[in-house]
Amino acid sequence: MPENPFEQKDMEALIALKYLPAFSMKFDTKVIQRELKITYSRAKCLQEAAIASGLLIRDQHFDNVTHFHIRGIGRSS
């Protein structure tokens, strides 16, 4: 059993955010909460699990908001 408490569908939903037509390449916990229609606490936990697994990468930090991008999607290496 994996250490990650989130199911594959949770991570797939997070990845799916990148394919929304007007979705920004950078987002924070509140965007994850709003778009996946989950609690802030669950969004924060999902975000942390995605960071730990390498799916999300910390991109910028400003005004107390940390933005992330999804590894390998929409960014050149």
Residue 28 lies in a domain: yes
Is residue 52 one of the residues assigned to a domain?
yes
User: Structural domain tally of the chain?
Assistant: 1
Q: What's this model's pTM, rounded to 2 decimal places?
A: 0.63
Query: Who has greater pLDDT, 5 or 19?
Result: 19
75 lies in some domain: no
For the stretch 16-28, pLDDT in tens is 776 765 555 567 7
Q: Which domain, by its residues, includes 48?
A: 8-70
Closest CA to 14 of 2, 59, 66, 42: 42
CATH number for the domain spanning 15: value is: 1.10.10.10
pLDDT in tens, 7-52: 778 878 877 776 765 555 567 788 888 888 889 999 888 888 887 8
Q: Does position 1 have pLDDT exceeding 50, yes or no?
A: no
Assess if residue 3 is contained within a domain: no
Q: In this structure, is residue 77 part of a structural domain?
A: no
CA 51 to each of CA 4, 21, 22, 55, 62: distance values in angstroms, whole numbers, following the listed order = 11, 24, 23, 6, 18
